[in-house]
Amino acid sequence: MTIYEQAFQEGYREGREEGYREGALEFLTELLAMKFGKLPPACMARLQAASNEELFRYSERSLTADTLEAVFDPT
């Protein structure tokens, strides 16, 4: 494999990961706003700093949480 091919594959993989994260963040933000109303800045900052795994966990919790705080509960 040439250096060009390696660089292309690495860039493609990173682009997919970034695209996945952006889509998950946008979807979760809209979902939470629909359920709990306008999201406070602290919540938005927490979502933007979250890892992919955290975004997935928050998405799962949003289905059953009664409050926004319960979505982010560490337990």
Residues in the chain: 75
For the chain, the domain total comes to 1
Segment-wise mean pLDDT, segments of 10 residues, the chain, 75 residues: 78 78 92 96 95 92 95 86
The alpha carbon dihedral of 37, 43, 45, 49 has a sign of: negative
Asked if 36 contacts 30 with a C-beta cutoff of 8 angstroms, the reply is no
CA 28, 19, 21 angle in degrees (round to 5)? 40
Q: Which two tokens stand for residue 16?
A: 């997919």
Asked if 68 contacts 36 with a C-beta cutoff of 8 angstroms, the reply is yes
CA-based radius of gyration for the chain? 16
Put simply, whether the predicted model's pTM sits higher than 0.85 gets the answer: no
Identify the domain containing residue 30 by its residue range: 3-71
